[in-house]
Homo-oligomer: A and B are copies of this chain.
Amino acid sequence: MMLAKLTFCGMGRFVTEGELETQTKNAKRAAYHHGDLRSQLLLAVRELIEEKGAENFSIAEAARKAGVSSAAPYRHFADKDEILKAVVLDAMDDMTHSMRDALNAYPEGSADRINALGQCYIDFARAHPGMFRLVFGITESHEGDEDLALRGAQTFGIVIGAVADYLGIARDNPEAKRRAYILWTVVHGHSWLTIDGKARQQGIDYPETDMLAAVSLRLLGGTVDGG
């Protein structure tokens, strides 16, 4: 199923800790003015979120990691929420990009396309559980944010399109959105239950690819009027 192509980090936006340290050291030579603090901070925050979870990271530690004082981040972000939002936007862009790649790996209108999208989503959750929790937990405090809504629409739009193509109906047919939403719930729920350990905890031994295939077949197979 071309899993390799679907893994995240592929765009090099999630870099390793080693790389960060190197970049930080080099930048430090510029002495007083860091030169690239904003992006270094975002990098550090991402690492910290994966290490200790989105609720347990501190701006102070990110600043320390980037080699600046704890007040410096406030020259680039208004507050903690704004940092988190920036990180989330990056992550959502990565996700959308990966889904586009997954899409292009299979023929238009195929069921494989839909399964690949789902696998892509789950892969992201598994690879970056902290980011996943953040992305789908941040809405609590950013309910009406337009940037976030736009990214969400982009991503969901991909799924709607694939479903419509598969069903052979127009992309703006409401039924496409409905079916796509149900698929979303399955994949979203499975992602959560997986990273929360609930699935393993309850001894679920349903191979993921089998589950995705079975679900998409059952939910999308058959006539549209049946829904």
Interface residues of A, Cβ cutoff 8 Å to B: 53, 55, 133, 136-137, 139-141, 143, 149, 152-153, 156, 174, 177-178, 181-182, 184-190, 192-193, 196-199, 201-206, 211, 214-215, 218-219, 222, 226-227
Contacts and interface: CB of A to CB of B under 8 A. Distances in A.
B53 A196 contact: no
Given A182-B186, A185-B193, A219 B215 contact: yes
Chain A interface SS verdict (over half): helix
Contacts of A137: 133, 137, 196
Contacts of A227: 214
Most chain-B CB neighbours within 10 Å: which of A149, A193, A199, A218? A218
A81 B207 CA distance: 33
A17 B140 CA distance: 22
A172 B91 CA distance: 41
Contact of A201 (B149, B184, B199, B218): B149
- So how many copies of this chain end up in the complex? 2
Contacts of A153: 201-202
6 contacts: A55-B55, A133-B140, A139-B196, A149-B201, A181-B206, A182-B214
A181 B194 CA distance: 11
Given A149-B201, A192-B192, 16 more contacts: A133-B140, A137-B196, A139-B197, A140-B196, A143-B197, A152-B201, A178-B206, A181-B204, A181-B206, A181-B211, A185-B185, A185-B189, A188-B192, A188-B193, A218-B222, A219-B219
Given A185-B186, A193-B184, A205 B174 contact: yes
A222 B226 CA distance: 14
Nearest to A205: B174
Contacts of A181: 199, 202, 204, 206, 211
**Residue from A133, A196, A226 with most neighbouring chain B CB atoms (10 Å):** A196
Contact of A185 (B53, B190, B222): B190
